[in-house]
Amino acid sequence: MVTHLSRLKSDHRPLKLSLLSEFIDLVKIWNKEVYGHIFTRKQLLTRKLEHIEFERDRTNSEFLKQIEMDMREELENVLHHKEILWRQKTRCDWRDFPSIAFPCLKDEDLNFLNRPVSNEEIKVVLFYMAPLKALGSDGFHALFYQSQWDHVGTSVCTWVKEVFKGKNIDSDLNNSLIVLIPQTQSPMQFSQFWPTSLCSVIYKLVMKIIANRVKVVFPRILAPDQVGFVVGRNIIDNIIIA
């Protein structure tokens, strides 16, 4: 509510802005009945997207593709509103930091990461895999692809190249088997098992190509004190420095 206060020494009348409790109640009703609870909207949109993605894997419909794009745009808008909500709740003064030099990749590194994958690169990565590691959901060892490369190599290379151009990995190949490995001779509790994921060879092939490229540029963007999951570094190094 806006109230005009009495003039004092100036020829202007000050304005007093008051936030009424009734207005807050109205806003809450609007949020629930018109806009929709932001967290509920996010959950609903996420579930709908999962359902549409499942249907698209089965039908590859252009109509579903357009619906998916529209829903993703709506979800982005909801997430933006959620970010604003948390910003207001925390009363945090969020700022940009243009003066801070964050590590970034050079053009040659980006070109290296984005370069087209070659048949030779695919073959080298495949033949570097252990031939008889545990089977994934497709039931094939790496040995099958290695021993039958003359017959399946062209198809494998074509498929991998299409994935790197943006093709979705089929759900059958993207599935992983979760296996529990006992850590003791007679395990009695869940904590005595070690869970591990068994992926298909063709899926691991794509991931290993990406990993091999990324680990080349990692040393140029990671801080010297970042030791976890970096080849040649150990967490004990920071303990020694401290």
Per-residue model confidence as pLDDT tens digits over 83-117 = 887 877 776 665 665 556 677 888 999 999 999 99
How far apart, in whole angstroms, are the C-alpha atoms of residue 109 and residue 65?
A: 33
Q: Could you give the CA distance from residue 141 to residue 133 in angstroms, rounded to a whole number?
A: 7
Question: Taking each helix axis from N to C terminus, what angle separates 38-59 and 62-90, rounded to the nearest 10 degrees?
Answer: 160
Encode burial over 196-220: b for 16+ CB neighbours within 10 A, e otherwise. eeebbbbbbbbebbeeebeeebeee
Q: Indicate if 153 and 127 belong to the same structural domain.
A: yes
**To the nearest 5 percent, what fractions of the chain are helix, strand and coil?**
60, 10, 35
**Region label for 170, one of left (φ > 0), alpha (ψ between -120 and 50) or beta (otherwise):** beta
Domain that holds residue 150: 107-235
In a domain? residue 240: no
pLDDT digits (tens, 9 = 90+) for 127-160: 999 999 888 888 899 999 999 999 999 999 999 9
Give residue 2's pLDDT band: very low, low, confident or very high (50, 70, 90). Answer: low
Return the SS3 of 12.
coil
pLDDT at 93: 61
pLDDT digits (tens, 9 = 90+) for 187-217: 888 889 988 889 999 999 999 999 999 988 8
Most confident of 56-60, 62-66, 208-212: 208-212
Q: Are 125 and 205 spatial neighbours (Cβ–Cβ below 8 Å)? A: yes
One-letter amino acid at 239 equals I
**Is residue 16 over pLDDT 90?**
no
Domain identity same for 129 and 199: yes
How far apart are alpha carbons 225 and 238 in whole angstroms? 7
Residue 168 has pLDDT above 70, yes or no: yes
Using DSSP, state whether 176 is helix, strand or coil: strand
127 and 35 within one domain: no
- Considering only 22-31, 63-72, 228-237, which range has the smallest mean pLDDT? 228-237
At 10, is the pLDDT very low, low, confident or very high (cuts 50, 70, 90)?
low
- The strand pairing partners of 176, in sequence order, are 199
The last residue of one of the domains, among 90, 121, 148, is 90
Same domain, 222 and 127: yes
pLDDT band at 220 (very low <50, low <70, confident <90, very high): confident
Question: Would residue 4 count as lying in a domain?
Answer: no
What is the model's pTM?
0.56
One domain, residues 86 and 113: no
Domain shared by 65 and 144, yes or no: no
Q: What whole-number percentage of the chain has pLDDT above 70?
A: 81
Asked if residue 171 lies in contact with residue 55, where contact means CB atoms within 8 angstroms, the answer is no
Instruction: With respect to residue 8, please indicate whether it lies within any of the assigned structural domains.
Output: no
Cα three-residue angle 18-20-25, rounded to 5 degrees: 150
97: in domain: no
Higher pLDDT, 230 or 135: 135
Closest CA to 82 of 29, 18, 138, 36: 36
* Residue 229 pLDDT class (50, 70, 90 cuts): low
Comparing 224 with 188, the larger pLDDT belongs to 188
35 lies in the same domain as 154:
no
Residue 195 β-bridge partners? 180
Q: Which residue bears the tokens 């495949």?
A: 126
Question: 78 in a domain, yes or no?
Answer: yes
The tally of domains found in the chain comes to 2
% of the chain at pLDDT higher than 90: 28
Instruction: Quote the pLDDT of residue 83.
Output: 84
Same domain, 214 and 113: yes
On whether both 216 and 189 belong to a single domain, the answer is yes
Within the chain, what is the greatest distance between any pair of CA atoms?
95
The chain-wide mean pLDDT, for the chain, equals 83
pLDDT in tens, 44-53: 889 888 888 8
Confirm whether 12 is domain-assigned.
no
Arithmetic mean of pLDDT, 71-84: 87
Query: Rounded distance, CA 117 to CA 164, Å?
Result: 8
Residues 145, 216 within the same domain: yes
Q: Between 222 and 122, where is the model more confident?
A: 122
Supply 48's token pair.
Answer: 């709908």
